[in-house]
A and B are shown apart, each in its own frame.
Chain A
Amino acid sequence: MTSEQQDYRVKLEIFEGPLDLLLFLIKRNELDIYDIPISFITEQYLAYIGMMEVLNVELASEFLVMAATLLEIKAKMLIPVEIEQEEEIEDPRQELTNRLLEYQRFKNAAIQLNNLNILYRDTFPKGIQEDYQVPDTGPLNIDADIYDLLVAFKSVLDRAKGEKIAYMTVERISVAQKISDIMERISIAKSITFDTLLPETYTKMDVVVTVLAVLELLRLRMIRCEQKVLFGPIWLYVQE
């Protein structure tokens, strides 16, 4: 990154926290929450944290506390347990498992709340004001979340891995430039997929700049992000 870009930080409040990230990793890797392979999950967790650092996403301190906790549990698991001891030894993962389950329950509860008929979303009482303006937009789809973006980011990064080494001068493009590129394209096309934002051959740098630009536009609510099917293309729309 050029020196001016190094100061660039993305502040995202969409990140829910370390528990959310862990649940995401457990679900994505189809792990058993009652028998978490701590070594594997720690590695994955640190990889994602690293990825967010590459993106200069400002991480809440809780993410780092959790990283330390995972490493601590991992260390405890390595200590051999003396079999002679009569009293039951608690699994070092127990507290984490409990917290994850508890958090998952409330995540589900939030989904259930969200499925209720909510006032001013699904149902309306009388008393609508008079200045009607009929819009021409269709019904909205479900928004893609930050993890969908991260997964998309990871898959393009993986694709970029096999690139052959050749030396040439690369035109550096700044995040600001990319933002105006995206806005220009999106304002003409109204909607574009995330994939098409990248040039035909691209470097890691291109991906990073593109993701940063998209995150920034999302934060400024200038665009809206949708993923219609799981792992499908991510569509970007102009925020109306």
Chain B
Amino acid sequence: MEKEKLLAIIESLIFASEKPLKTKYIEQVMSIIDLEGITIQELIEQLKTKFSYEDSGIELVEVAEGWQFRTKPAFAEWIKRLNTVKPFKLSQPAMETLAIIAYRQPITRAEIDYVRGVDSGAVIKTLLDKRLIKIVGKKELPGRPIVYGTTQEFLEVFGLKDISALPNLQDIKQIGSADEEIERNQTELPLSSPESTDEE
């Protein structure tokens, strides 16, 4: 089969799917075709490139371990003019709390409160309601406190392939006049050591 046709089939499959379509399902659907040595993954990448170059309003993105067509960010203001979807908005405290949970999961409420220096109950509830976080279990500590983690929806909303695709915390440079010091000291502040915040 011609490659253009293979690409068109994949395009139609992803278009028809409401949720991000996993590569394995595309592979299953197309398993009856002899691909002559090309992998589905390679074909998807080609399709992605095709949409990124063309004068197209949509692009193919890998989110939550699947593939989805989405509008290009350059046209967001135009879509908002349709005024039919409530634009996504999170308050600053909610965004910070979400960041802490995303990078430190699984994490308890007490650990979140310690990092933020303030009670996080209300913000956590907002994030739970928006289904960006969920209860992922209990920690082996006195009282067996609940621990939180991010959801599939979180990956979809932030356009992340999986949790490892989060922007690297160490790439951050900013704090008033102390930029260099932050970089120098980064090794002393490990990314995932919830134990260090257990004092409270």
Contact = CB atoms under 8 A, between A and B. Distances in A.
A199 interface: no
B5 interface: no
Contacts, number: 166
B18 to A, nearest CB: 7
A66 interface: yes
Given A17-B116, A135-B81, A123 B99 contact: no
Interface residues of B, number: 59
Interface residues of A, number: 55
Contacts of A169: none
Nearest to B58: A126
Contact of A119 (B15, B70, B174, B176): B70
B79 A124 contact: yes
A83 to B, nearest CB: 26
Contacts of A134: 81-83
B141 interface: no
Contact of A122 (B73, B81, B176, B181): B73
Interface stretch (B26-34, B36-44, B48-56, B153-161): B153-161
Tell me the interface secondary structure of chain B in the complex: mixed
A113 B102 contact: yes
B142 interface: no
Contacts of A62: 117-119
A121 B172 contact: no
B86 interface: yes
B171 to A, nearest CB: 8
A23 B69 contact: no
Given A103-B116, A105-B169, A113-B99, A128 B84 contact: yes
Of the listed residues B86, B117, B159, B197, the one surrounded by the most CB atoms of chain A closer than 10 A to its CB is B117
A33 B178 CA distance: 7
Given A33-B178, A124-B70, A139 B82 contact: no
Interface string A28-61: 0011111000000000000000000000000010
B76 A122 contact: yes
A201 interface: no
Given A109-B172, A110-B92, A119-B156, 18 more contacts: A18-B117, A20-B117, A23-B175, A26-B176, A30-B176, A33-B176, A62-B119, A66-B117, A99-B114, A102-B197, A112-B171, A119-B88, A120-B85, A120-B157, A121-B89, A122-B76, A123-B72, A132-B83
Interface of B: 15, 18, 61, 68-73, 76-77, 79, 81-93, 95-96, 98-100, 102-103, 114-119, 122, 156-160, 166-167, 169, 171-172, 174-178, 181-182, 185, 189, 197
20 contacts: A13-B91, A20-B117, A23-B175, A26-B176, A30-B176, A32-B181, A62-B117, A101-B189, A104-B175, A110-B92, A110-B99, A116-B160, A118-B158, A119-B88, A122-B73, A122-B76, A123-B71, A123-B73, A123-B76, A124-B85
